[in-house]
Amino acid sequence: MLIKIVFYSAIIALAYWGYRHFSTPNQQLAIGQSAPYFDLEDHRGERVNLHQFKGQWLVLYFYPKDDTPGCTKEACNFRDDMHKLEKLGAKVVGVSVDDKQSHTAFSKKYNLPFPLLADTDGKVADTYGALTSIGPVKLAKRYTFLIDPNSQIAKTYFNVEASTHSQQIIDDLVQLKG
């Protein structure tokens, strides 16, 4: 019985440590700081960069893996709220370290109307402090950056709840736009 308690306590401690490590930002981007530049290929093979969103609000969200439960929920909520986001002058762009083919299948399966960028080497995720490694595997953390029309960081989200995040962005956009 004691061995079971020790075993399960160790599992819980490792899970907690892993979660804390995975969810803690590598570096903090400050509100008002210029958003780091990015230029990546999307799931359609088109180049997408930060300058294309000048004059608009940008929801730049990083996520771990295509077609996994949390990532699917988050992407589908952004899809379902696109009309509200666009009405507020915002565009949505998703980024993960998955490749273009994975993004294409994910986007097609869930009819996602926004670009999914293939950051296969993790350089953009790292620039935003959203890259983590689990052994040899690199993943993007579930972080979001709300970037204002002047390409400045307006809000950061490091503890994202996939099921409510899209509405949180909408609420914050309403508040930020006054």
Architecture of domain 2-177 in CATH?
Answer: 3-Layer(aba) Sandwich (3.40)
pLDDT value, residue 19? 45
Residue found under tokens 């929920």: 73
Beta strand ranges found along the chain (DSSP E): 39-41, 47-49, 57-62, 90-96, 116-118, 131-134, 137-140, 144-147, 153-157
Structure tokens at 165: 């995040």
Distance (Å, whole) CA 159 – CA 141: 10
Q: Is 71 a catalytic residue?
A: yes
Q: What 3-state DSSP class applies to 173?
A: helix
Annotated catalytic residue: which of 29, 35, 71, 90? 71
User: In this model, does residue 95 exceed pLDDT 70?
Assistant: yes
Q: Alpha-carbon torsion 32, 37, 39, 43, what sign? A: negative
Higher-confidence residue: 177 or 78? Answer: 78
Structure pTM?
Answer: 0.85
User: Mean per-residue pLDDT for 153-157?
Assistant: 97
Q: Which residues pair with 134 in a beta bridge?
A: 137
Residue type at position 94: G
Least-confidence region, from 10-19, 37-46, 64-73: 10-19
Higher-confidence residue: 1 or 116? Answer: 116
Quick one: pLDDT band at residue 135, thresholds 50, 70, 90? confident
Tell me the average pLDDT of the chain: 89
User: In this model, does residue 113 exceed pLDDT 70?
Assistant: yes
Q: What 3-state DSSP class applies to 31?
A: coil
Distance (Å, whole) CA 54 – CA 43: 21
